[in-house]
Amino acid sequence: MDFRNHPLTAEFSFGERGSAISEFVLIATPLFLPALLFFNAMNNTAKEEMNTSMLARQAVRAFVTAPDLMTGHQRVKIILDQYAKLEGTRGVGGTAGTAGSGSLGDLENSGSLTSPTRYEFTYNIKCYAEKCLEPGSLVELELYRKIEPIDKIESSKDRKASAVARSYVDKWRDTP
Amino acid sequence: MPVTERFFKSKDSERGSIEAGLTLIPTTAFFLLVLQIVISGGFQIAERVSLQNVVTRGALGDSQSAELFAAKNRVVSSESVSLPGGGELILASSEVSTPRVTNFLTGDPRMKVEAIAIRE
């Protein structure tokens, strides 16, 4: 069917003359810019996931080597704060982690470094023993960190990088 | 007349070809920009893994040997913070130059990475 002779489309011009530059700007650029933003966001997310994983490993190690629970939470908080400072950002402030007392199995102690910046950390510590730092017990730390969305483009504001690290308390340590 | 024959015999067959070729300029610029991002991201990941490896080994075995992967213009700094209950936290940061694939970038692209480790 030839649309050129069709009565409904006869009024439109079917000439192929046009500006390649304007076509590129109108068609290709809207495709390229989201791709560029996507690559950038993907790189940012991968970086945050790696950082969070590394921080979780070090934080759980600091916790299981602490003499008591209160000191353990302090050590975790110091690690997160110092890392945020190292990145040149403000990570200190807000509420400190709530140090748990003697915990029953699977009791979770949580803490958060609430900060208006994106470097907000939240962690949960799960103990698999009646006493959290009893020699030989397993401790699990879940660490979350907010990922900065691209302003005015990315709609999701609640994306978080997460990591889980587990470690055993030294069997030959003194019982707290 | 077949379409292909009409295409090759058309006197206007080469009209706009130069202008269409000009679109290669922004396309190439975009390609180089993405390539630069990918290469810089790769360098950053390699540097991060390498720095974390060195810092962790240093914290565990008190090793002073640096085995960072080969890169130019690296600036490494480290400090330690004592922790309550004993031990110290080692903080290290490194800034490294990444290859510049295009002259669209005027400056020297540099990536900064950080690493931490617990020394008991």
Q: What is the mean pLDDT of residues B31-52?
A: 87
| Residues 6 or more apart in contact with residue A9 via CB below 8 angstroms | A3
Q: How many residues would you count in chain A?
A: 176
pLDDT band at B25 (very low <50, low <70, confident <90, very high): confident
Task: Verify whether the Cβ–Cβ distance B16 to A17 is below 8 Å.
Answer: yes
Whether B117 shows a pLDDT value over 80: the answer reads yes
Tens of pLDDT along chain A (176 residues) come to 565 566 666 555 555 566 777 777 787 778 888 888 888 888 888 888 999 999 999 999 999 999 999 999 999 999 999 999 888 754 433 333 433 333 333 444 444 444 444 568 999 999 998 888 889 999 999 999 988 776 666 666 678 899 999 999 988 877 66
> Which of A22, A27, A51 to mutate: most B Cβ within 10 Å?
A51
Amino acid at position B31, single letter? F
pLDDT of residue A144: 93
Let me know: does A108 contact A126? Beta carbons within 8 Å: yes
pLDDT of residue B43: 87
Of B18 and B58, which is predicted with more confidence?
B58
Closest CA to A86 of B48, B74, B93: B93
Let me know: does B56 contact B117? Beta carbons within 8 Å: yes
Stretch 15-44 of chain A: residues touching chain B, C-beta under 8 Å: 17-21, 23-24, 28-29, 32, 35-36, 39-40, 43
Whether B71 shows a pLDDT value over 80: the answer reads no
Task: Verify whether the Cβ–Cβ distance A86 to B114 is below 8 Å.
Answer: yes
For residue B42, the chain A residue with the least C-alpha distance is A43
Rounded to whole angstroms, what are the CA distances from A83 to A40, A54, A64, A77, B6? 23, 11, 19, 10, 69
Closest CA to A162 of A41, A48, A38: A48
Within 13 A of B92's CA, how many CA atoms are on the CB side? 24
Rounded to whole angstroms, what are the CA distances from A15 to A5, A26, B6? 14, 18, 16
What's the whole-model pTM score?
0.74
For residue A87, the chain B residue with the least C-alpha distance is B114
- Does the model's ipTM exceed the 0.90 cut? no
d(CA A27, CA A21): 10
| B114 touches A: beta carbon within 8 Å | yes
| A47 touches B: beta carbon within 8 Å | yes
pLDDT of residue A28: 77
pLDDT of residue A5: 64
| B23 touches A: beta carbon within 8 Å | yes
Task: Verify whether the Cβ–Cβ distance A78 to B41 is below 8 Å.
Answer: no
Q: How far is B47 from chain A (nearest CA, A)?
A: 12
Of B110 and A74, which is predicted with more confidence?
A74
pLDDT of residue A88: 76
d(CA B54, CA B19): 53
Q: How many residues would you count in chain B?
A: 120
Give phi and psi for A40, each to the nearest 5: -65, -45
What is chain A's alpha carbon radius of gyration, rounded to the nearest angstrom? 27
Beta strands in chain B (DSSP E): 75-82, 88-97, 110-119
> Which of B116, B119, B120 to mutate: most A Cβ within 10 Å?
B116
**Torsion over CA of A33, A37, A42 and A44, rounded to 10 degrees?**
150
pLDDT of residue A124: 94
Amino acid at position A99, single letter? A
Q: At what angle do helices A29-64 and B24-61 cross, to 10 degrees?
A: 0
Alpha-carbon torsion B114, A88, B89, A143, what sign? Answer: negative
**Taking CB atoms and an 8 Å cutoff, what residues of chain B touch A87?**
114
| B71 touches A: beta carbon within 8 Å | no
pLDDT of residue A115: 42
d(CA A149, CA A156): 7
pLDDT of residue B62: 62
**Taking CB atoms and an 8 Å cutoff, what residues of chain A touch B35?**
none
Task: Verify whether the Cβ–Cβ distance B89 to A61 is below 8 Å.
Answer: no
Give the closest of A21, A43, A55 to B22, CB-based.
A21
Bridge partners of A168?
A: A138
